[in-house]
Amino acid sequence: MDGIELFFLGTGGGRFVTITQKRRTSGIRFLSEKINIHLDPGPGALIHSLEAGLDPQKIKAVLVSHRHPDHYANAEVLVEAMTRGILKKRGVIAAPPSILDGTSEIGPALSVYHQNMISEVITLKPGVKFRVANTKVQATQTRHTDSEAVGFRFQVPEVGEIGYTADTEYFEGIEEEYKGLRVLIISVMRPLGSPWIGHMTPQEAAKIVDAVKPELVVATHFGMKMLYSGPTYEVKLIEETTGVPTIASFDGMRLHIGKKIAVKKSKRN
């Protein structure tokens, strides 16, 4: 495979979308000749991987941005797949302390038992850098209700850089986290006129896009109000305001990033 393919197994977010599955909450798979990463494996990540023909036993790394179920609920079962049924110590897990250590009120979201079966466990804080095969990954800053949440930058050889904001509200300086990207995946859970703490509407998202000017913006992680309003309609504001091509992701979308960027629909969806 030339370049890298991003498989959007799920594009929903928030409590009510999660419990109704109006959009899937399965996360994103990063696929190339060198890497097989599952990012934010919420509810449905396992079953929708299998339905898409993506063998979870081939995963090399599981990355989790924060401790909310729509981002981590299937992490343990994907670790079991990655470690071949807990029979082979292998793979990478990268997650913030809220996932790996828990707090005084709640234990780890990924059990110590599962963590002990992984070759490399990486505790994420903004600025932490690591590698998954040939891809450099860096954790980025967020402002979310999980105070330890992070976003990500991926530097893929011969492709360029891809960013993922994860869940965050707009804050001064967030633009610096994502400059130099080709593709920015941005979580836009709420529609215009309906802000919510720890999240963004298209208006806030446009501020980041206007400063970063990536080649393409992909909006994702749509909450119930966003779905009622219509993500495609809502994210037009980002493109109209910034001049940057912007698309609303959909369940089963495949984004191929090479010399060119192409959007495809999964044959199984």
Instruction: pLDDT band for 264, please (50, 70, 90 cuts).
Output: confident
Q: What is the pTM of this model?
A: 0.96
Domains in the chain (CATH in brackets) are: 4-262 (3.60.15.10)
Contact 202, 237 (CB under 8 A): yes
pLDDT per residue over 74-117, tens digit each?
A: 999 999 999 999 999 999 999 999 999 987 778 899 999 999 99
pLDDT per residue over 166-196, tens digit each?
A: 999 999 999 999 999 999 999 999 999 999 9
Tell whether the torsion through CA atoms of 28, 6, 169 and 225 is positive or negative.
negative
Instruction: State mean pLDDT over 35-40.
Output: 98
User: Distance between CA 111 and CA 98 in Å, rounded?
Assistant: 12
Residues 6+ apart with CB under 8 A from 220: 8, 11, 13, 28, 185, 186, 187, 188, 248, 249
At 106 the pLDDT is 81
